[in-house]
Structure 1
Amino acid sequence: MSSRPPKATQRLDLLAVRVTRSLLSDASVHVRDCGPAGVKLWNIFDNAYRRRAGRDEVQAPHSVATTALRALTGGYVWFDAKRAVLASRDPIDDDMVRDVFTLLYGLATGEDIDDIDLNQPVGIAEKFASTPQEQRALADYLQHSPSQQPDAPNWVYETVAWDLARRIAAEPLAIDRLSVRLRPDTAGGLVAWDDPWPDETGTRFALPRIRLRMKTEPNVKDPLILVSASATRISSSMDFARTVLADQDRADRPLVEVELDGRGRLRNVNRLALQALSRLGMGHSVLHEVDRQVQADRLARQQAQASGEKSPAPQPLGTVRPIMAKNFYFPVGSGVGMDYYRGLRDHIQTTLGDNCQPLYGFFEGGNFKQAKKDEVLMEPLDITRSLDAMGREHLRIVCLWATDEIRQRMINALARAYGLDPAGLNPAEGKGVTLHGTRVSVVFHHVPDFLQHGPAAGRSAHTADLVSLKAASGEIVGVWAETEYGDGKKGSPPRPKDSEDAKHQTHRVLAKMDLVVQYIDRAVQTGIDKSTGMDHQSLSCLMDLYRNLGFIDRRISRVLTKPIGELPAVGVAHCGVHVRRQSRRQGDRDARISVAASVLKPPTVPDGAWTLHGWSYTDRTWRQYHLAEAAFHAADYPAGKMTEFMDNFAGYSSTAKVIDQALEDLADYLGGTPYTVTVDGFACRRLWKGLNNKAQGQPPEPNTTWLPGSTIAPKYRPVAVIRLNTTDEEVPRPVQVTITDENDREIKTQERTTQVFRIDPDPDLGKHCTWLLVNTTHQFDGNGAGRQGSKKTRYGALPWNKGKNEIKSNYYAMTATEIFPITLNTDHRRELMMVTARLCHQALAWKHRTRYPIPLHAALQMDKDHPQYRRTITPVDLDGETNSEDE
């Protein structure tokens, strides 16, 4: 009689370690906490600086003090100006603190460095110098909220990695049969300073860099150290560099991370910090060495230009290494890969010893099926179903073209989408042609003057006589337009000036006509399949146009079939609210805020299509998605602070109340259909306190914007709020899946997964777990991708292996979307999580998974497609393996 095999468990191994008293041991830092009196003095100083600068959004340059003190003490210094707290790993002399803050005050208020009297310290300097410097054991400050959630002081989160990084660096990292020395840096991370990754010529380098961050998870009693890594690219010169890593003159000191001031090519070391150090008698420091390198690079560039050379020859790696500011072309690929993360996890557990308690996830569900390319292409039946659900009779696609090539590509894509012969589809100029019975047609207009780059004046006149752009009753009009948006790289057209960019200008003209538009770039043809001739880029553009119009295909109906408790799947709407702050740029008076929302509304008839609707902060009216998007894009982003340094709680509360009013309006718009709200917890945590981890298990604070919908009547509120987090530094990094038996013995491991895993709550912290939807990038999963980084690290990379340049290739790793439902009128958290996961996996107009579910992703796209977005959004460095949200 055979016995049943032991039940296997799938355990998700994460690069996350519990921060316990035993792990921290006797680690300590020195803290000066000036309390409310210090905060008041700093605010007086900060306000005086703001008045002198004449701008409300600026703050006193507190980084001068931090930068100077790091140079004076060896590195580990952290300063929280808002709370008047100064922390350092080693004690700092009172006189040094007094002098640094006196110099900071004098320089910030416009005094000449030689006129500042160090014998007459100002109040803020005297306060910091006279505040007792207490050596505090970090373990004593692992505090908790009333509901036992982690709630340590800010300075603990910022300083706890200092000692852990030193301990992890005590032993070399054994990886790819190599012994790699790790060096701590002043940010609490680690750098393989002596073992960079070279390109195949040995002249360009990327540095393996590891970051340690203390974060929390809901209903996990201990804070966590989350570990991430990147292939940080080293620039060949200081031009455009925003951040520099520099070695100090003593081996026992950490590498210093220095942020440079200024914009564009000519960035500088903070001049005020250099002046302060010189005044204190420190004529040579790591800052001076960085400054010397900046000046040397400028001289080398001038000499190269004088001799007719394009740029100076690359220099060998020295003690100062500038980090590339943007993810331009580089001969060493980005990302560190899965194998590196596995080796790093083993190293951390070994060096931290028995007190290292990893965090795990456990298999919850999934079995998600990957859509095929042909399934993504929306069929004519999907178009007519959406038209019926939207109460529309006809879709007219208006193609605006300038070159014959793009016209033909549009024709080929439309012919394939509607099962027509492209040879027989040759529309006459301005004449409508049927694509699908009486329901879908297309018209082509040759408008090169409208589409070309140049001044905005008079552009709208080119479309004034195009009657096909004006929707009749029962019609939807979607515009497919040609553009040329060069990036200035070799072989592509120059990038137009912001004031002459036709893409943004035509977008605004069309939006004011209640039209949405999708562009196709004639300079980009990366999507043509050489074996079949299929133009995937053109088809993807057509699918994006359908998404902009709010069309929902049958794939969405197939994944929304499971009930949520007593509510049927078609009895719940799903809303997503997207919030983003855009920093003030040169020429702007204020920062900008973008708030957009969308909702998936259930079908009103059996087997009907779901419909998509939208709302924006500028329009504040729920409309069908294409009309909401056009109304949003027709107006500028509204001005608003919502800044970390300037805005107070009242400002955030005001924005949250506007969103609450939108939710009340949504309840009416839905006719009483229950709905959920999904938000990005990282982006929105300042708007709603109830999203924060330390607030879990606590009753809502009365009369506050605790959660979305808190300030409106209960009958209008959502049944649940789903909090997402996709920020790599905030979400534990998945490393591998370990299969264990019923006795927790390891059977085998698998290197990747795309399923859902749960993080179980600790005892006595309730029953609410957190779920992780684990992702791998579509590049890693694609045909011929080679899955670089899955079996070896860049230390073993070859310039040519089986048709792949392993040095130049990007290395990918798993990421995760954290899903945490906060239920209000339903207890069915797992069902809510699975709906969210399915709506991430089943994207609109895209065969790959997105990190946001459809409602929140659609709200995000309203923002990303805004005419002002690309001109004003701050560029992002792409060192990690983040999944793109672009479709």
Structure 2
Amino acid sequence: MISTLAFLFPYSALGKITLYPLNNEFGQAWSSLPTYGDAKNGKPRRPPYAGLASALSAVSGQPVVLMPHTYEPADDDFAQPAVAVTTKPFDPWTLSTAVREWERRVRKGDDANTLAPLLAAAEVEHPQLASFVRGAEDGTPHAPGWFYRVAAWNFAQRLARTPLLIPNGPRMRRIHWRMDTQGSLISWDNVTQRTTLKPKRTGYALHKLDFRVITQPGEPLFALHVLPTFSRLATHWASTRTAFIEHGGHKNTLLRLPIGHTKNSDGQWVPYARNYAAEVLEACDMDFTTWPTNDDLAQLRGQMRALVPAPIPHVLGKGVGTRFNKILADHITDTFKRPTIIQVGFEATDVELTRPTKGAVTRADLDHALAATGSETVRIIALYNDGTTRKRMSEALAAYTTTPDQPLDCGDHQDHRLSQRLVVRFHRLRALDHAEQVDWDSELEFLDQFHDDAVNGAWVETIWNPKPTKREREAGQHRHDHKRDLRRALYERDIVSQFLARQSPPEPDDATEADTDTDAEAPKDYKAINALRDLLFRLGCVDDRLRHVTELKDEPILVGIHLRQQRVSNRRPGAADRTQMVEVLTALHTSNDPDRPWHLHSYDHHTHDWRPQAVAEAAFGRRAIGREGHARHEEGALLARQHIESALKILPSDRPLIIFVDTEACRTIWPGLQNVRFGKGPLPGDDLRTETRSVAVVAINTSYGEVPTPVENTTSPRKNPKRPPKPQERLYRRTTSTGHTSWYIAQASRTYDGFGGAGSIGGLHTRFTLPKEDWSLQRKDWHSFTATQITVPHAAQHDPEQLAALAAQLCHQSLSWDARTRHPVPLHVAGAMDRAHPEYRGPSMETAHMPETDEVQGGE
């Protein structure tokens, strides 16, 4: 049994709320508000409901939501009617004054005062939150969108009343929580601090508990997921977006405000509270706290603390560790006695997950695996500038020669055959070290000499996160990162790529010592080995490792459908003019014939055809990343569904299909993936199902907020009384009272399992109680257990548990590395193609610049 940080709670535990119903007249008044931007040079936009809710939270010191009151997904954030929901009634004068001032600011000083009278006239209600739930008896509970936030507030308020007791030797460490105006709990008075001497830096972090109320497939009760984070604090205001404020009148609640930045009269960037929160506080005669200086933040002075804006170097790592999760789970169970809540758990099945094949494709299997590319010849083009990198590449490639202990003995600019199908060609490319942008079309002209039918892949040296030299720093310069531009230029030539970060050559003393120790075995260059494995994976190389761990007698085609919505801007960086859908489809063709390798194809949207993996990736990478008009909702969702359905129809019609989809990304496109209509709405492949053709659908959910976080394996003996036992390598399941089963795979990360005591330090200690002699381990990321949820909305002619086992095994035995992937192979390959696109989460490419015809670090 796996216990988790998710809890089912009876409807009697939901409590009451304070609700202000807002009629259509309020909606009409809201729609008459002008567009505005509360940031200097900000893009004007229609005022969101959340703007006023943020201002009301500031003056009331309590969480507030203002949202449409609808049971269906609200495609329009301003749908009518709406409700304002909070924890207790507003003071009438404060409410009217705050709303009037906020509207006046939006209208640039025009005191129209259209909203405040309507909100003040609303008849305040105090209903039971459970009264808004529908469909519970059928195992499909659902409620208006605002319900889920408010239910989490009530739970957080109750939990905050009891301090968390953490064993600290013979004593207990008491952690008192403060709730913020978004419903999170903050360890405000219990700050973790670490100082380094070289360089001289001090960092701070808080423990934060977020709460998310969600549904589970077939579960009549709502589940509350507790999401602990180790939130690091900023020591300067640059780029910060969120601040917590402790200010007078609301000592039990912290204000969480979005932060913007603008220039003052001296030309310096200074922070301000978004949504006119400071101005609204001043209008209500409330003293807004003084903005701390950068020095104040660096020394944790004042009433305000800001979160670090993004993943940046910090003296403290991320994560709270598994021991903290175990203590927290026990605390929640002990705190909520009346009514009793139920901790969600997974039961073990008889399905054991195995990984019989590890390591790279062997030399004996190489040509058989390369046959999956569909080409007689596969060429690796090794592009380098540093001699050490060339040596590393040749040593990694030597594994596919008859002398694997010796580096390749070959020159540049000519093909060197390693096996019947694999050739390699080295080429020194000095432009790789240029600090400025490079004309890669000119630099890569030598690649145009290839006129054979070989599949080509480039193995490219790169300076990973290149740091400027002292001279460049003094001049305000920085080296250009060539990976995006170079990858696109290679795609233009139908060449997929994988980058290898340069390493410094060994120090002379180290080299001398290694030469004298003749018995010492040189350490393996795993970075080069893994980069080569990933390049072969991108080329479409598939050996028999997947065949060995699956039993697929009817030779199905395994399809992966990867969807992602990307923001697009044609103007300044950071702005989003529109969104577009990224759609990547892959198909893994299985075979029972040992002489025929499984092979990968991907769908080319331009030619409307399924093409070999490397060819399809190059075609995908050289064109605009998204599809115009496709979206997650309404007409855009219908267009995406129809387009993907037409792609599936091209696959061989005499083969069964097993389609793997990402639940979170796809459920608005296919409503049959949603818990409220699970398996009863549209699903992928609906148009392909016949009496003689099987089309199954397997949904994979890896969302941290939706899949319960494993706490411990309660059936395993404890080797250490402190450390929670980790999950086993097997398939788990959970069956609800309505008879619906979901399956799970749970795991500890590779970091948790390895790297000595540093990897699993969070299993023995909490960040509150780490011994001083181990204090340096605060800089590490502390890992917790994770889980993947597998559901089967349509099993076709298969046993649902067999499909779940197949999905789990295709995560556990990946194509090119020795650990588990988040998604089964076909879905993982599709995601890897998306991440390798030059415009992945980057600036958009204009369609007009695309030809008319046809990195992720580590492919796994």
Superposed pair shares fold, TM > 0.5: yes
**Paired residue total:** 802
Give the C-alpha shift of residue 447 in structure 1: 2.1
* Counterpart Cα distance in 2 of 1:885 and 1:125: 55
* Counterpart Cα distance in 2 of 1:107 and 1:760: 53
Q: Which residue of 1 aligns with 2:799?
A: 828
* Counterpart Cα distance in 1 of 2:476 and 2:735: 52
Give the C-alpha shift of residue 167 in structure 1: 1.6
More deviation, 647-656/263-272: 263-272
* Counterpart Cα distance in 2 of 1:538 and 1:628: 25
Q: Which residue of 1 aligns with 2:852?
A: none
Whether the aligned pair in 2 keeps the contact of 1:799 and 1:806 (CA below 8 Å) is no
What secondary structure does 2:647 align onto? helix
Q: Which residue of 2 aligns with 1:788?
A: 761
Amino acid at match of 1:815: T
Whether the aligned pair in 2 keeps the contact of 1:486 and 1:523 (CA below 8 Å) is no
Q: Deviations over 1:347-370 (max 9, x none)?
A: 111111142222221112443345
* Counterpart Cα distance in 1 of 2:337 and 2:471: 54
Give the C-alpha shift of residue 684 in structure 1: 1.8
Give the C-alpha shift of residue 518 in structure 1: 1.0
What secondary structure does 2:441 align onto? helix
Q: 1:785 to 1:578 in 2, by over 3 A?
A: farther
* 1:600 equivalent in alignment to 2:572: no
Structure 2 unpaired stretches of 5+: 68-76, 515-519, 718-722, 845-855
Q: Which residue of 2 aligns with 1:459?
A: 440
What secondary structure does 2:664 align onto? helix
Q: 1:424 to 1:277 in 2, by over 3 A?
A: closer
* 1:486 equivalent in alignment to 2:465: yes
* Counterpart Cα distance in 1 of 2:736 and 2:788: 18
Match of residue 733, structure 1, among 685, 709, 726? 709
Q: Deviations over 1:548-597 (max 9, x none)?
A: 11111221111122x4xxxx2x5211111111112245356433431111
Whether the aligned pair in 2 keeps the contact of 1:758 and 1:772 (CA below 8 Å) is yes
Match of residue 679, structure 1, among 651, 661, 670? 661
Whether the aligned pair in 2 keeps the contact of 1:64 and 1:270 (CA below 8 Å) is no
* 1:758 equivalent in alignment to 2:733: yes
Give the C-alpha shift of residue 540 in structure 1: 0.6
* 1:191 equivalent in alignment to 2:186: yes
* 1:723 equivalent in alignment to 2:699: yes
Match of residue 658, structure 1, among 624, 631, 643? 643
Q: Which residue of 2 aligns with 1:849?
A: 820
Give the C-alpha shift of residue 685 in structure 1: 2.1
1:705-720 equivalences under 5 Å are 706-710=682-686, 714=690, 719-720=695-696
Match of residue 125, structure 2, among 119, 126, 134? 134
* Counterpart Cα distance in 2 of 1:513 and 1:581: 27
* Counterpart Cα distance in 1 of 2:468 and 2:226: 35
Q: Deviations over 1:501-522 (max 9, x none)?
A: 4222221111111111111121
1:501-516 equivalences under 5 Å are 501-516=481-496
* Counterpart Cα distance in 1 of 2:768 and 2:42: 49
1:694-713 equivalences under 5 Å are 694-696=676-678, 699-700=680-681, 706-710=682-686
Whether the aligned pair in 2 keeps the contact of 1:709 and 1:717 (CA below 8 Å) is no
Q: Which residue of 2 aligns with 1:7?
A: none
Q: 1:751 to 1:534 in 2, by over 3 A?
A: closer
Q: Which residue of 2 aligns with 1:325?
A: 309
Q: 1:54 to 1:857 in 2, by over 3 A?
A: same
* Counterpart Cα distance in 1 of 2:315 and 2:443: 45
Structure 1 unpaired stretches of 5+: 1-10, 301-311, 701-705, 742-747, 874-882
Match of residue 57, structure 2, among 70, 76, 96? 70
More deviation, 99-108/78-87: 99-108
Give the C-alpha shift of residue 833 in structure 1: 0.4
So what's the TM-score if we normalise by structure 1?
0.83
Q: Which residue of 2 aligns with 1:304?
A: none
Q: 1:244 to 1:272 in 2, by over 3 A?
A: closer
Match of residue 673, structure 2, among 675, 688, 691? 691
1:636-655 equivalences under 5 Å are 636-638=624-626, 640=628, 648-655=633-640
Match of residue 542, structure 1, among 508, 512, 532? 532
What secondary structure does 1:22 align onto? helix
What secondary structure does 1:739 align onto? coil
What secondary structure does 1:546 align onto? helix
* Counterpart Cα distance in 2 of 1:102 and 1:656: 45
Whether the aligned pair in 2 keeps the contact of 1:432 and 1:443 (CA below 8 Å) is yes
* Counterpart Cα distance in 2 of 1:42 and 1:688: 32
Amino acid at match of 1:477: N
1:392-407 equivalences under 5 Å are 392-407=375-390
Whether the aligned pair in 1 keeps the contact of 2:490 and 2:497 (CA below 8 Å) is yes
Q: Which residue of 2 aligns with 1:303?
A: none
Q: 1:332 to 1:49 in 2, by over 3 A?
A: closer
Whether the aligned pair in 2 keeps the contact of 1:233 and 1:323 (CA below 8 Å) is yes
Amino acid at match of 1:393: E
Give the C-alpha shift of residue 43 in structure 1: 4.6
What secondary structure does 1:627 align onto? helix
Q: Deviations over 1:271-311 (max 9, x none)?
A: 55146415633351xxx32x622xx33xx5xxxxxxxxxxx
Whether the aligned pair in 1 keeps the contact of 2:492 and 2:618 (CA below 8 Å) is yes
Q: Deviations over 1:420-448 (max 9, x none)?
A: 35656232221211212x32211111222
* 1:233 equivalent in alignment to 2:214: no
* Counterpart Cα distance in 1 of 2:602 and 2:314: 40
Give the C-alpha shift of residue 854 in structure 1: 0.7
* 1:776 equivalent in alignment to 2:748: yes
* 1:21 equivalent in alignment to 2:21: no
* Counterpart Cα distance in 1 of 2:477 and 2:669: 35
What secondary structure does 2:51 align onto? helix
What secondary structure does 1:238 align onto? coil
Q: 1:357 to 1:274 in 2, by over 3 A?
A: closer
Whether the aligned pair in 1 keeps the contact of 2:104 and 2:113 (CA below 8 Å) is no
Tell me the C-alpha RMSD between the 2 structures: 3.6
Q: Which residue of 1 aligns with 2:609?
A: 621
Whether the aligned pair in 1 keeps the contact of 2:355 and 2:549 (CA below 8 Å) is no
Match of residue 113, structure 2, among 116, 121, 133? 121
Q: 1:499 to 1:598 in 2, by over 3 A?
A: farther
Q: 1:91 to 1:488 in 2, by over 3 A?
A: farther
Whether the aligned pair in 1 keeps the contact of 2:57 and 2:64 (CA below 8 Å) is yes
Whether the aligned pair in 2 keeps the contact of 1:453 and 1:496 (CA below 8 Å) is no
Q: Which residue of 1 aligns with 2:849?
A: none
* Counterpart Cα distance in 2 of 1:858 and 1:540: 16
Match of residue 430, structure 2, among 425, 448, 464? 448
Match of residue 180, structure 1, among 172, 175, 179? 175
Whether the aligned pair in 1 keeps the contact of 2:491 and 2:622 (CA below 8 Å) is yes
What secondary structure does 1:538 align onto? helix
Q: Which residue of 2 aligns with 1:879?
A: none
Q: 1:133 to 1:712 in 2, by over 3 A?
A: farther
Q: Deviations over 1:166-219 (max 9, x none)?
A: 221222111123122122222222121111222256942211111111011001
What secondary structure does 1:465 align onto? helix
Amino acid at match of 1:443: R
Give the C-alpha shift of residue 376 in structure 1: 1.8
More deviation, 220-229/579-588: 579-588
So what's the TM-score if we normalise by structure 2?
0.85
Q: Deviations over 1:226-248 (max 9, x none)?
A: 01101111122222221112223
* 1:334 equivalent in alignment to 2:309: no
Q: 1:164 to 1:664 in 2, by over 3 A?
A: same
Q: 1:271 to 1:806 in 2, by over 3 A?
A: closer
Give the C-alpha shift of residue 61 in structure 1: 4.0
* 1:89 equivalent in alignment to 2:74: no
Whether the aligned pair in 1 keeps the contact of 2:498 and 2:531 (CA below 8 Å) is yes
* Counterpart Cα distance in 1 of 2:334 and 2:302: 31
Whether the aligned pair in 2 keeps the contact of 1:663 and 1:716 (CA below 8 Å) is no
* Counterpart Cα distance in 2 of 1:183 and 1:55: 33
Q: 1:319 to 1:555 in 2, by over 3 A?
A: same
Whether the aligned pair in 2 keeps the contact of 1:150 and 1:216 (CA below 8 Å) is yes
